[in-house]
A and B are shown apart, each in its own frame.
Chain A
Amino acid sequence: MALLEIKKLHVEIDGKKILNGLDLTIEKGKVHAIMGPNGSGKSTLAYVLAGKADYKVTSGEVLFNGENVLAMQPDERAAKGIFLAFQYPMEIPGVATMTFLRTALNAQRKHRGEVELSTPDFMKRVRETAAKLSIDTEMLRRAVNVGFSGGEKKRNEILQMSMLEPRLAVLDETDSGLDIDALKIVSEGVNRLRSPERSMIVITHYQRLLDYIVPDVVHVLSKGRVVKTGGKELALELEAKGYAEFADEAA
């Protein structure tokens, strides 16, 4: 059984149609890249998977491990293992990153009927995980994303993902705003999490990221539909030719 099955998904926001019959199937352990022009609906897809309230699903289905995701609250989806690394991570003034991580982790564990992680175990895990991502523990004491540089925010998303160990990670333009070194660190972080049990959707505009995180499948999204699917070479092709050829196909 596929981990994620999206069937003929139609989504609108404020009466405007954004996804128009999107189909996508992701097997366990696979990494899918999604590329596509600005405004084609990539972030919308990510938000709909995570359960953001403003989006209205007018028809279609989303199954995660065979379960109907669309009926679940966002926190329920998170506990089932859906993680979204936001294109624009939110700032939460006054809440230490450490506290945020711990609250999130324990909330998920509680949801799954597991015991809370003890303080020493938690601290040990955060420190180790942060170190691998070259995140200073000083940063963990600062309020979530407040005053973080663009690159630090993205790294913080990967830290959260590493701590929460999701089954499906959706990375929405995690590479934007990263310098070359940070891109490597983040990609290594993502690659460490690759496993036969975990799938990923990597949304990006740039082939460069896919040199580091090599995808199994590449999709092109245009006007709210998948218009082309191929192997990793498709990304190279897009880099050379742009999206011009898809402009009409989706219409």
Chain B
Amino acid sequence: MPAVQETVDQVRLIDVDQYKYGFVTDVESEKAPKGLSEDTVRFISAKKNEPAWMLEWRLEAYRRWLTMREPNWARVEYPKIDYQDLYYYSAPKRNALASLDEVDPEILKTYEKLGIPLREQEMLAGVVRQDSEGNNLGERRVAVDAVFDSVSVATTFKEELKKAGVIFMPISEALREHPELVKKYLGTVVPVTDNYFATLNSAVFSDGSFVYVPPGVRCPMELSTYFRINEANTGQFERTLIIADKGAYVSYLEGCTAPMRDENQLHAAVVELVALEDAEIKYSTVQNWYPGDANGKGGIFNFVTKRGDCRGDRAKISWTQVETGSAITWKYPSCILRGDDSRGEFYSIAISNGRQQVDSGTKMIHLGKNTTSRIISKGIAAGRSNNTYRGLVSAHRKAKGARNFTNCDSLLIGDKCGAHTVPYIEAKNSSAVFEHEATTSKISDDMLFYCRQRGMSAEEATALVVNGFVKDVLQQLPMEFAVEAQKLISISLEGSVG
């Protein structure tokens, strides 16, 4: 059989129904009435016992949103979203609890099934894990904030973190306990008016994580938030705000899954990072929202605004993302390099299969002197998917000596998918040095044959080659998440070859 024919047949076999997290948890939940109005906004704010200024802030965002239009410049197509046909708030009835023992056992079971232990002793009892070469990774403790639909259901290791001075809690709680901190930073990186989805989020966000690391503190463990959308017809609008004060360091990981449903679900998050002088924030995402079925039915619409502000000199922000899920991904984690000598990094693996559409990339905005940035993007398209890298690198007048290095590689599996690279570059001063490299390749039949001759199945061979392709980025993930991500990559490519 000629290779081309074989590839065509492989593509036909594409089946993305391999999603392992598609179950639904049966819990009673309390919802806001369907639809969006000032009342919805008031309802959410009241549920959270928010200070008055917060409600005003939300209402202002809502009024602004009414005047805005949904953006359409991305290379994604989707049916019109009916914003009145959604629930904007859904919370398990038993929540906001003092201890884990009070959390609905069904929810605890859900997280167990997802491999996210919420009991601290379970995390401590973790078995020693190994990487692919058999090196021990050791135990690493990770504090988890678990967000279920619209609310945080549990946050682990709070006490231990508190001793170090680190604040890690649901943002709804931070609004009550540390209103001055939230007020000082919220909306300063992603303004309320930033874009259609961010403005919507500002009006109706329900939960998310808040992190504050005080000056000079190195956060003693990885922090993570695990987002789960459970309820049908419910949008998830989470808001995360992370502040690393002068000389502080924090590494943060975000994970997400959702049940398989025939309807599309909306996820419009906002993440803001603030790194002050000499501070460093490392933000990693393993995004595994339900991608929809092989025919493009169902799946999450993921419209996310993520931005970091290197607000002080020598600050550093690094985004690492492994994007395998969602029907639509619209996401550009960015860095504003305001402080002199500050540094931004973006490492991305975006995999699309079936009918998935990914439009993702980054913006590196160089404002300060001698700021540097680095972008490594690996796009992998299989099935009938479309995968676009969209990036902007700009240097403003005062950003003398700004430097950027960009490398965008695309890999195509089969011939029914598409990969596109849309880089924008703007240099307003002549001392900026921007380097851009881009390649597009196909997984060669010869390479696969070599692997198969050694005994690997077509799928094992593809996964191996793809893992090699994304290695530079995987290396940026915290070690044990890299192992997870590697498995996830294999799973999301299942069915992409026959």
Contact = CB atoms under 8 A, between A and B. Distances in A.
Given A92-B464, A95-B465, A104 B456 contact: yes
A172 to B, nearest CB: 12
B130 interface: yes
Interface stretch (A25-33, A46-54, A187-195): A46-54
B446 A90 contact: yes
B133 A104 contact: no
Contacts of B449: 50, 52-53, 74
B71 interface: no
A111 interface: yes
Nearest to A85: B453
Contact of A107 (B130, B445, B456, B467): B456
Specify the main secondary structure of chain A where it touches its partner: helix
A94 B3 contact: no
A79 B2 contact: no
User: What's the interface size class on A, roughly?
Assistant: 35 or more
A244 B393 CA distance: 65
Interface in A76-120: 77-79, 83-84, 86, 89-90, 92-96, 98-100, 102-105, 107-108, 111, 119-120
Contacts of A100: 451, 454, 464
A95 B446 CA distance: 16
Nearest to A13: B2
A123 B99 CA distance: 46
A122 interface: yes
A86 B1 CA distance: 21
Interface string A13-51: 000000000000000000000000000000000000011
Nearest to A112: B455
Interface string B337-357: 000000000000000000000
A104 B468 contact: no
Contacts of B471: 94-95
Nearest to B460: A107
Contacts of A204: none
B450 A119 contact: no
B134 interface: yes
A164 B455 contact: yes
A53 B445 contact: yes
Interface string B426-463: 00000000000000000011110111111111101000
Given A92-B465, A94-B469, A107-B460, A75 B445 contact: no
A207 interface: no
B72 interface: no
B468 A93 contact: yes
A86 B450 contact: yes
Contact of A78 (B3, B453, B470): B453
Given A53-B2, A89-B450, A94-B470, A75 B464 contact: no
Interface in B26-56: none
B134 A122 contact: yes
A95 B464 contact: yes
The CB with the most chain B CB atoms within 10 A, among A84, A103, A119, is that of: A103
B454 A164 contact: yes
Contacts of A95: 464-465, 467-468, 471
B17 interface: no
B132 A75 contact: no
A143 interface: yes
A108 B134 contact: no
A119 B133 CA distance: 8
Given A53-B449, A54-B3, A89-B450, A104 B455 contact: yes
- Most A CB atoms within 10 A — which of B1, B130, B134, B450? B450
B6 interface: yes
Nearest to B461: A75
Contact of B2 (A54, A102, A111): A54
Contact of B460 (A83, A94, A103): A103
A154 to B, nearest CB: 14
B472 interface: yes
A79 B455 contact: yes
Nearest to A99: B132
B455 A84 contact: no
A160 interface: yes
Residue with the greatest number of chain B CB neighbours at <10 A, chosen from A50, A54, A94:
A94
B456 A53 contact: no
B415 to A, nearest CB: 15
A111 B455 contact: yes
B454 A94 contact: no
Given A105-B455, A111-B455, A99 B450 contact: no
6 nearest interchain CB pairs?
A: A94-B468, A119-B134, A108-B455, A95-B468, A104-B454, A94-B471
Interface of A: 50-54, 73-75, 77-79, 83-84, 86, 89-90, 92-96, 98-100, 102-105, 107-108, 111, 119-120, 122-123, 143, 160, 164
Given A74-B449, A104-B456, A119-B133, 16 more contacts: A52-B449, A53-B2, A54-B2, A74-B452, A77-B453, A86-B453, A90-B450, A92-B465, A94-B469, A95-B465, A100-B454, A104-B455, A108-B455, A120-B134, A164-B454, A164-B455
11 contacts: A50-B449, A53-B445, A74-B449, A79-B455, A94-B467, A94-B471, A103-B456, A103-B464, A107-B454, A119-B133, A160-B454
